[in-house]
Amino acid sequence: MIFLETFWNSQWQYNQEKNMKQIEVVAAIIRKDDRIFATQRGYGEWKDWWEFPGGKMEAGETPGEALVREIREELSAEISVDELLCTVEHDYPQFHLTMHCYLCSLVTEALHLNEHEAAKWLAKDELDSVKWLPADVEVVEVIKSKIQ
């Protein structure tokens, strides 16, 4: 536990010294049978790269509440937030990202892409078939090692 505290404190100090913007987000690792849901960004610097759906937490929201809201906004779907899979810390050139990734399941079957240009259900052995955002690559590695 002391090691983790030392790591997080040094990471925070490093990011403060670099004067990097800090962004905290949540991501839904939506499972259906043996497949994982992935979405392709349709805008911005990372257009056409793949990610797990989710977004920024609003003030006063728990991670679970943020995920339910974000998935409702992005996919017009209802999810159940099941358990924390991992938290990823990643430095992009302009900001430091903290991404809390939760295993989720669909409550409603229908999904509608409101913000993304494409989506796929990927089996574990297909996860490397798309070009993931850098922070999401770390999540993919956790999925491959932890999910049957």
Residues 9-44 pLDDT 10s: 444 445 444 678 999 999 999 999 999 999 999 888
- Integer Cα distance of 51 and 64 in angstroms: 18
- Integer Cα distance of 107 and 121 in angstroms: 16
Higher pLDDT pick, 7 / 30? 30
What pTM was estimated for this model as a whole? 0.85
Where does the pLDDT of residue 4 fall: very low under 50, low under 70, confident under 90, or very high at 90 and above? very low
Percent pLDDT > 70 in the chain is 87
Q: How far is CA 73 from CA 99, 113, 114, in A?
A: 18, 9, 7
pLDDT of res. 43: 86
Tell me the average pLDDT of the chain.
89
pLDDT of res. 7: 43
Domains of the chain (ranges plus CATH)? 31-146 (3.90.79.10)
